[in-house]
Amino acid sequence: MSDQTQQGGASQKSGTISAPPRPPVERPGQADAPAGTDQTHTIVVLAYDRHGALDRIIGVLRRRRAKLQGFAIGRNEFQGMARITIVMNDSEVAVEQLVEQLRKIVDVQHVEKLTSEQTVARELALIKVNSNDSQYSTEIIELAHQFGAHVVDVTQQTLTLEVTGSEEKVEKFVDSLKSFGIREVARTGRVAMIRGVE
Amino acid sequence: MYVAATITQKPEGATTYQAHRSTETIEARELSGSQILCEALMREGVELIYGYPGGAIMPFYDALTSYPVLHHVLVRHEQAAAHAADGYARATGKVGVCVATSGPGATNLVTGLATAYMDSTPIVAITGQVARPFIGRDAFQETDILGVTQPITKHNFLVQRVEDLADIVHEAFKLARGGRPGPVVIDVPKDVQILKTQYRDSVSISSIERFRATRAPHPSAEAIARATELIKGAQRPLIMSGHGVILANAYAELHAFAEKTNIPVITTLLGLSAFPETHPLALGMPGMHGPAHVNRAIGEADLIIGVGLRFDDRVTGKASEFAPHARFIHIDIDPSEMHKVKRATVPIVSDAKEGLARLIEAVEEGDNSTWINEVRRWEAENSERSESIQRNQEYPDPTSILEAIRAETKDEAIIVTDVGQHQMWTARHYTWTRPNSHITSGGLGTMGFALPAAMGVKMGIPDATVWVVAGDGGIQMNIQELATLKQEGITVKVAIMNNGYLGMVRQWQHFFHNGNYSETPITGPDYIKLADAYGLTGMRVTKREDVEAAVLKAMNTEGTVLIDFVIESEANVYPMVAPGSAITNMIEESPNHE
């Protein structure tokens, strides 16, 4: 994912090192998607957690030239399965193509494209900020409260905070901590689910 | 039928495989991984294995001698094993099997696997792997073959426990032939081949069922109804049939559908021979080297019914200008082919056979004679033009060679072509009438494919007359297989169209690189001496008038025969569409070029 995750408007503001913008990907033959129809799509993949399964999923995304923005992997409610949330910025046609390609992977049990209206999406971030001044610490903790964040680690020089929420909220929180001096940010990337009963 | 003499715990009464299978109570026997591999291959009905031994696969080769029903063919290069398995699969519709050792043996299979993957042919490749404790430690002859073959296989397995081996083999076969066929790799560590476990002659269904990818989808009634409406309203419809028709054995359905609707049929390179070219509705091959009237018909068509094809760029040229006035009905077993290149008005996800059968029931009889006459008029104009061109009469020309083969084999040969100019000439000028009589590497365009693939074709259908048509470049790529042909006593007849060039590349250099023939002139061996050195028969033909006699002589000579046809050195394949250009924009033969 290396060069690709940095792409996309939001994450560049978050105090991390930003990569130069990528040139648009030329994909002749990818159906007739008009230019400028790219938008963010979320795909959820349920896969058997078997040897090489993750490789195959990432392999398809690479080989079919997915414009990847996020890739989060974790367990779900079934034993021996993995739930992968893929975020990408692309045209509807290209995303539909990818969904079908992902469905062909033998290890993949289910693929679903989520639309933003029906989706609840969250991410978690750990943020390590400078706090060598005690007054700073108080300010940081107050700010954290406003965002519903928790302090998970305290040292003489640093405070580590945990925040969950929409990507926009995480973005804002990271922004508002910038003035204290951010040492490190770790974000999980989006995990998502359809609201209510499908 | 094998006698299970070597098996330690022979079940009561199970002296033959058949008898064993019919036994109701299945007893477990303790077998080694290698024996299990052989047992499972037999259960899958495997008769032929193409392979090459080596360190990490030696336990399997040790067990193999106890299973004489599994006929192993020792190739001279693992690439040929994969192509031979591929040729066998294409000719018979059964799964081809190839075996190689770890490391270089396995990587030598890669080109063959990629060829099978691109053309959707079912093969199972078994590779040895270093013993489990050495995996990941850069051991001698260790290659991460799962990683290497991941993008060019339908699926691949590393067998981590000997207990899983039998199920994995059966799953691999099911995957290879199910749905859209393709290659599957089974990587078996050496210690897994040696370890013993209880083996039952049963397939654990649950483990197979989880592979959803093999399920063949069925066309929806709604899609069939919409397609029927489109067909009814079309004025200039075309059927484009591809490899899917051959893979699904849907010849009769294609025939019946075309006749009932009276819609002319175009066959792609891999679809050739699916529809008899002598039929009044047969138009020919589309795309880069398709005849002008076919591409022009596509340009004018208002409906394209694509059956079992994927609208490859060699077919469509510039995709956005391909069939600009047409709507598309696309029948394919692979849902990911829908809308990949052209958005289908009606996508029908189905096996070609079932999709066509459903359409035949639904459609009304049609009459497209006005449209067909128009296309035939273009065809006539083109052939008049073509006939007016002065040609060199001295050399054996591709058409005369192909006509001679067709005549002398009474149109019953299976033709296996390599890749390049000869491939296009054969595709265009051999009049295909018998289903599945044309075998070639289309998607990957693998030079060196023909000779080893023909080996598989001939062994799959021993009664068939098999001709290889190859260029002087491609034939040199797997020429070592002449030794395999000799050792196995396999008879194929080989026609080399020898122009002393890598002809297709030279043609591109002629048109697109100002005639700068960079590294395309190529010499070859004396094929008569070469054949002789391998214990085979070789001939050379330098005059047009000798072509027929040579072909006849080859047919009457026992064993594999090579004929070196010295053809005109700088002949081109016409017409030609420049890559990336619209297919209606053709470079046609003109007297100035000759």
Q: What is the mean pLDDT of residues A193-198?
A: 82
Tally the residues of chain A. 198
- Using DSSP bridges, classify how beta strands A81-90 and A68-75 pair: parallel, antiparallel or unpaired: antiparallel
Is A106–B211 a contact, with Cβ atoms under 8 angstroms apart? yes
The nearest alpha carbon in chain A to B145 belongs to: A52
Q: What is the C-alpha to C-alpha distance for residues B418 and B471, in angstroms, rounded to an integer?
A: 7
Average pLDDT, chain A: 83
Q: What is the C-alpha to C-alpha distance for residues B181 and B308, in angstroms, rounded to an integer?
A: 12
What are all long-range contacts of B319-325, with beta carbons under 8 Å and residues at least 24 apart?
Answer: B319/A28, B319/A29, B320/A32, B321/B582, B321/B583, B321/B584, B322/B298, B322/B582, B322/B583, B323/B298, B323/B299, B324/B299, B325/B236, B325/B299, B325/B300, B325/B301
Q: Determine which of A8-22, B247-261, B356-370 has the lowest per-residue pLDDT on average.
A: A8-22
Q: Which of A60, A100, A107 to mutate to test the interface with B (most CBs of B within 10 A)?
A: A100
Q: Which of B141, B160, B480, B487 is catalytic?
A: B141
Is B340–A31 a contact, with Cβ atoms under 8 angstroms apart? yes
Q: What is the mean pLDDT of residues A61-84?
A: 91
The reply to whether B296 touches chain A by the CB within 8 Å rule is no
The reply to whether B338 touches chain A by the CB within 8 Å rule is yes
DSSP assignments along A27-58, one per residue: -TTSTTPPTT--EEEEEEEEEE--TTHHHHHH
pLDDT score at B206: 45
* Burial of A151: CB neighbours in 10 Å, binned 0-12, 13-18, 19+: middle
pLDDT digits (tens, 9 = 90+) for B490-533: 999 999 999 999 999 999 999 999 999 999 999 999 999 999 99
Q: Is B62 left (phi over 0), alpha (psi -120 to 50) or beta?
A: alpha
pLDDT score at A15: 44
Is the confidence at residue B12, as pLDDT, over 80? no
Q: Is the peptide bond before A34 cis (omega within 30 degrees of 0)?
A: no
Is B213–A56 a contact, with Cβ atoms under 8 angstroms apart? no
Half-sphere exposure (Cβ direction) of A162: Cα atoms closer than 13 Å: 7
The reply to whether A33 touches chain B by the CB within 8 Å rule is no
Q: Helix crossing, B398-408 with B547-556: angle to 10°? A: 40
Q: What is the mean pLDDT of residues B556-585?
A: 94
How far is the first Cα of chain A from the last one, in angstroms, to the nearest whole number? 31
Is residue B504 annotated as a catalytic residue, yes or no? yes
pLDDT score at A118: 82
Is A103–B336 a contact, with Cβ atoms under 8 angstroms apart? yes
The reply to whether B212 touches chain A by the CB within 8 Å rule is yes
| Predicted confidence band of residue A21 (pLDDT cuts 50, 70, 90) | low
User: What values do phi and psi take at B39, rounded to 5?
Assistant: -60, -45
| Predicted confidence band of residue A17 (pLDDT cuts 50, 70, 90) | low
CA angle B282, B286, B292 (to 5 degrees): 90
Question: How much of chain B, in percent, has pLDDT values that exceed 90?
Answer: 86
Which of B48, B140, B150 has the alpha carbon at shortest distance from B99?
A: B48
Higher pLDDT: A53 or B388? It is A53
pLDDT score at A131: 87
Is the confidence at residue A153, as pLDDT, over 80? yes
Q: Determine which of A34-48, B406-420, B463-477 has the lowest per-residue pLDDT on average.
A: A34-48
pLDDT score at A18: 57
DSSP assignments along B397-417, one per residue: -HHHHHHHHHHHTTT-EEEEE
In the block, tokens 């989808």 appear at B217
| Predicted confidence band of residue B7 (pLDDT cuts 50, 70, 90) | very low
Residue B204, both tokens: 């654990």
| Predicted confidence band of residue A133 (pLDDT cuts 50, 70, 90) | confident
Average pLDDT, chain B: 91
Question: How much of chain A, in percent, has pLDDT values that exceed 90?
Answer: 57
pLDDT score at A92: 83
Which residues from B are below 8 Å from A50, CB to CB? none
Is the confidence at residue B382, as pLDDT, over 70? yes
The reply to whether B320 touches chain A by the CB within 8 Å rule is yes
The nearest alpha carbon in chain B to A93 belongs to: B339
Q: What is the mean pLDDT of residues B551-555?
A: 97
Q: How far is B491 from chain A (nearest CA, A)?
A: 39
Q: How far is A116 from chain B (nearest CA, A)?
A: 24
Question: How much of chain B, in percent, has pLDDT values that exceed 70?
Answer: 92
Asked if B32 and B193 count as a contact pair (C-beta separation under 8 A), the reply is yes
pLDDT digits (tens, 9 = 90+) for B60-115: 999 999 999 999 999 999 999 999 999 999 999 999 999 999 999 999 999 999 99
Is the confidence at residue B592, as pLDDT, over 60? no
Which residues from B are below 8 Å from A91, CB to CB? none
Is B339–A31 a contact, with Cβ atoms under 8 angstroms apart? yes
Half-sphere exposure (Cβ direction) of B47: Cα atoms closer than 13 Å: 10
Which of A163, A150, A159, A152 has the alpha carbon at shortest distance from A129?
A: A159
* DSSP E strand stretches across A18-175: 39-48, 68-75, 81-90, 108-114, 119-130, 150-154, 158-165
pLDDT score at B591: 60
pLDDT digits (tens, 9 = 90+) for A97-118: 899 999 999 999 999 999 878 8
Nearest to A29 among B151, B313, B335 (CB): B313
Cα A27 to Cα A91, B140, B579: the distances in Å are 12, 40, 16
Is the confidence at residue B287, as pLDDT, over 90? yes
